[in-house]
Amino acid sequence: MTSLGSTATSEWSAPGRVNLIGEHTDYNDGFVFPFATPHRTHVALATRDDGRLRVISTFDAVPVEVAIADLDALFPTVDGQHAVPEWSTYPLGVAWALIQAAGADPTTLTGADLAFASNVPVGAGLSSSAAIEGATASALNELWNLGLDRVALAQVGRRAENEAVGAPTGIMDQMASMLGEPDAATFLDCRSLETDEVELGFAAAGLSLLVMDTNVKHAHSTGGYGERRASCEEGARVMGVPMLRDLSVGDLDRAAELLDDVTFRRVRHIVTENQRVLDTVRTLRDEGPRAIGSLLDASHASMRDDFEISVPELDLAADTAVAAGAIGARMTGGGFGGAAIALVETDAVETVTLAVEQAFADAGFTAPTIFPVTPSAGARRDG
Ligand code: ADP
Ligand code: MG
Q: What's the one-letter identity of residue 146?
A: L
Atom of ligand 1 nearest to the CA of 117: 23
What element of type H or E holds 118?
strand 111-118
Report the alpha-carbon distance of residue 265 to residue 259 in Å, rounded: 9
Catalytic residue (choose from 29, 113, 173, 297): 173
Q: What is the pLDDT of residue 222?
A: 62
Report the alpha-carbon distance of residue 172 to residue 75 in Å, rounded: 23
40 close to 13: Cβ distance less than 8 angstroms: yes
Measured over the CA atoms of residue 361, residue 366, residue 367 and residue 372, the dihedral's sign is negative
Closest by CA to 236, choosing from 196, 264, 203, 257, is: 264
CB 128 near ligand 1, within 6 Å? yes
Residue with the nearest Cα to atom 23 of ligand 1?
Answer: 118
CB 132 near ligand 1, within 6 Å? yes
Active site residue 173: yes
Q: What is the pLDDT of residue 79?
A: 87
Q: What is the pLDDT of residue 7?
A: 72
Give Cβ neighbours of residue 186 (< 8 Å, ≥ 6 apart): 32, 33, 34, 35, 175, 176, 179, 180, 195, 196, 197, 198
CB 329 near ligand 1, within 6 Å? no
Binding site as annotated, residues for ATP: 57, 123-129
Q: How far, in Å, from the CA of 131 to the mean position of ligand 1?
A: 8
Binding site as annotated, residues for Mg(2+): 129, 161
Per the DSSP assignment, residues forming a β-bridge with 113 are 46, 54
CB 91 near ligand 1, within 6 Å? no
Give Cβ neighbours of residue 303 (< 8 Å, ≥ 6 apart): 23, 269, 309, 310, 330, 331, 335
Q: What is the pLDDT of residue 365?
A: 98
**pLDDT tens track of the chain, all 383 residues?**
444 556 778 999 999 999 999 999 999 999 999 999 999 999 999 999 999 999 999 988 899 999 999 999 999 999 889 999 999 999 999 999 999 999 999 999 999 999 999 999 887 779 999 999 999 999 999 999 999 999 999 999 999 999 999 988 889 999 999 999 999 999 999 999 999 999 999 999 999 999 999 999 876 556 788 899 999 999 999 999 999 999 999 999 999 999 999 999 999 999 999 999 999 999 999 999 999 999 999 999 999 999 999 999 999 999 999 999 999 999 998 899 999 999 999 999 999 999 999 999 999 999 999 999 999 999 999 99
Q: What is the pLDDT of residue 354?
A: 98
CB 136 near ligand 1, within 6 Å? no
Closest by CA to 60, choosing from 91, 101, 95, is: 91
Report the alpha-carbon distance of residue 14 to residue 374 in Å, rounded: 15
Q: How far, in Å, from the CA of 108 to the mean position of ligand 1?
A: 30
Task: Provide the ipTM.
Answer: 0.99
Residue with the nearest Cα to atom 6 of ligand 1?
Answer: 123
Binding site as annotated, residues for substrate: 23-26, 225
Q: What is the pLDDT of residue 169?
A: 83
Q: What is the pLDDT of residue 168?
A: 82
Residue with the nearest Cα to atom 7 of ligand 1?
Answer: 129
